[in-house]
Structure 1
Amino acid sequence: MFAIVRTGGKQYRVAAGDKIVVEKIDGDAGSSITLGDVLLAGEGSELKSTAGLTVAAEIIAQAKADKVIVFKKRRRQNYRRKNGHRQQHTILKIVSIGSSEKGAEKKAKTTKTAKPEGDAAPAAQA
């Protein structure tokens, strides 16, 4: 199963077991997070509903990207500026793609309450 998630203003296609590099997310190495902004999900060529779908991930490391050199120059003006920048990023390992725990609990509660009451009880409530 795969999913397309949005985090840090970018979109990533992920599957269970993938490692991705995203914009910095708060958290320590080893902690787990959930990515709730799922745009698309499917298996093979079949698409699935994204309602209540989340992606569970584990933070592997907080790191910095390679240095980018910013050099400005105006000719004949003796103007030269050199700056470097290293972007912060987070390395994630995708653990699983599935429904949220709250959504699964709601489904379990509704099926448990509906079965013992029978057909007459829901008609009385409506």
Structure 2
Amino acid sequence: MYAIIKTGGKQYRVEAGLKLKIEQIPADIGSELSIDQVLMVADGDNISVGKPLLTGASVQATVLEQGRHDKIRIFKMKRRKHYQKHQGHRQNYTQIQITGISV
């Protein structure tokens, strides 16, 4: 059984037991989450697709970690103009583990 969920402006395919890094959610480590934005649920040959969301479906998850991704370096340059710009960015994330899918 798997589901397609939407969180943080992105869509993820999740199954029970899957560990996943998503956009940061303000939650304590060890707390339980319920994600209500479920787009699709598939159980064998039974596939339920929402328009756009499934009503009554949810995915339960446990927060494992709050952290930051590796630094992304941004470098801009215009040749022969003495222009160089260095910049970096680290995106925050929340690591969750999917504990169950309910329809």
The TM-score normalised by the length of structure 1 is: 0.74
1:64 aligns with 2:68: yes
How big is the alpha-carbon RMSD for the aligned residues of Structure 1 and Structure 2?
A: 1.2
1:87 aligns with 2:81: no
Higher helix share: 1
Task: Give the partner amino acid of 2:29.
Answer: A
* Inter-partner Cα distance in structure 2 for 1:36 and 1:63: 23
- Structure 2: gaps spanning 5 or more residues: none
Q: Report what 1:117 is aligned to.
A: none
Q: Report what 2:10 is aligned to.
A: 10
Higher strand share: 2
1:97 aligns with 2:98: no
* Inter-partner Cα distance in structure 2 for 1:31 and 1:70: 35
Report deviation, 1:45. 2.6
* Inter-partner Cα distance in structure 1 for 2:25 and 2:90: 16
1:27 match: secondary structure: coil
2:39 match: secondary structure: strand
Q: How many residues align?
A: 99
Task: Give the partner amino acid of 2:6.
Answer: R
Q: Report what 1:21 is aligned to.
A: 21
- Structure 1: gaps spanning 5 or more residues: 100-126
Runs of 4+ off more than 4 Å: none
1:17 match: secondary structure: coil
The TM-score normalised by the length of structure 2 is: 0.89
Structure number with bigger Rg: 1
